[in-house]
Structure 1
Amino acid sequence: MTSGQEAALRGLHDRHATELWRFAMRLTRDPQTAEDVVQEALLRAWRDPELTNRSEAASRAWLYTVVRHLVVDRWRSAAVRHETAVDEVGERAVTDRTAEVLDRWLVTDALGLLSRQHREVIAAAYYEGRSVADIAGRLGIPEGTVKSRLHYGLRSLRLALQEKGVTAP
């Protein structure tokens, strides 16, 4: 760089640095960030040998454009958005179980509307995981009766849930 270009760039700095800092300050609202942006813009001007050949108005417009682009780039950067890279994905987030709790509440209410015999076989089969033969042996009734109570109990349960506004998927 020649001494004439260096003098022109110093003059550019002296004439525009304060105004550029104010402009960057309005955009960023952070003095340190505004200073960093102006410094980067002037460094780019230093690297651009054609800037000294432009008119004063063109040089000024170029500097303001560079400052604006640098601020936009900072806003878009991951560091500003507080994003960080990780090597491993952490544990999965705990899902909201509100729907599950509400479903259980609805089923419990609907089961309360069934007869004792129907509720008894449904609870044994679906909540305790017992087989038809096991339920029949525990209750002292034939297996066919267990199957019948399960069938009609589930049908009544479905109707009770429909009355509560639950629809089949």
Structure 2
Amino acid sequence: MAALWSRTRQRTSDEVVVKALYEEHGRALLAYAQRLTGDRAAAEDVVQETLIRAWRHQDKLTNGKGSVRGWLLTVARNIVTDRCRARASRPTEVAENPSRVPVENDHAESVVDSMVVMEALDRLSPDHREVLVEIYFQGRTVNEAAEVLGIPAGTVKSRSHYALRQLRELYREKPGTARLVVLKEAVA
């Protein structure tokens, strides 16, 4: 119980020390760090790190050598210097091939779209599916699709009409399926 009491008392006194340091030197420390970094957020990080170091080395604050503010400003300057050196020691990142633009769009959208399209095509009969594949995915005309499939052009037209109609019905049944936009454009 005595150990718990002393830890609680120690924690409270540590909080008082850090709070007192911040209240007395916080503004000056923040202004100085902001001048060094040129960035408010980075300056706040430097102040926080400075106060942590002051908390860890309280003995240096009470040894009677020099001012507390001088010690804090020196620590802040050292932190900024260390961060600059760390940034400078890392090589700058460059694109693998400067002529190629980095990928901007995530290909996941197209993967999901193709999965939805494949699922919708799987719901069609094989005859309807092969007609749509020839016309929309292979880019063939009605006559070319008829020649490849070995059926009359009128049959290709009829099957594509009924296949698209069935896809429209499937699309209406699933109004939340936004991925069928690819099919919707083909169906419309």
TM, length-normalised to structure 2 = 0.44
Which of the pair has more CA radius of gyration?
A: 1
